[in-house]
Amino acid sequence: MKRLRKPKMADGELRIYWGREPHGNPEIMFAWQGDRSMKRDARLLHFMMDTRHSDPYEKPPFSQMRPSLFEELDARGYDLTTLKFSIMKKSAATEDTAKAKGETE
């Protein structure tokens, strides 16, 4: 069995990956590192990628639901256990780059 570990993340990073909570089943995980406002950004990613949305073009309107992005990728034959997505906040990415280069303000 593959051992799943908690990822090490930089400040200001949002990440989506295949993982597992302690004593849980493996699934798609949404994680963030930084201030509490990043929780809203993680929820936005979850809403856009892992939630089914109504189809406004169906008759009657909104009677059918479109599959989520993850459901669509799975249906097209992609292996979601290899899923990795990471994005940095602009201000945090700039600060980390400056620290790596040895620049100070």
- What is the C-alpha to C-alpha distance for residues 64 and 56, in angstroms, rounded to an integer? 8
- What is the C-alpha to C-alpha distance for residues 44 and 49, in angstroms, rounded to an integer? 9
Q: Write the CB contacts of 64 (distance below 8 Å, at least 6 apart in sequence).
A: 54, 55, 58
Q: Model's pTM, two decimal places?
A: 0.68
Higher pLDDT among residues 80 and 93, named by residue: 80
Domain boundaries, the chain: 14-98
* pLDDT of 35: 85
Both tokens of 72, joined, read: 């669509």
- The average confidence (pLDDT) of the chain is 83
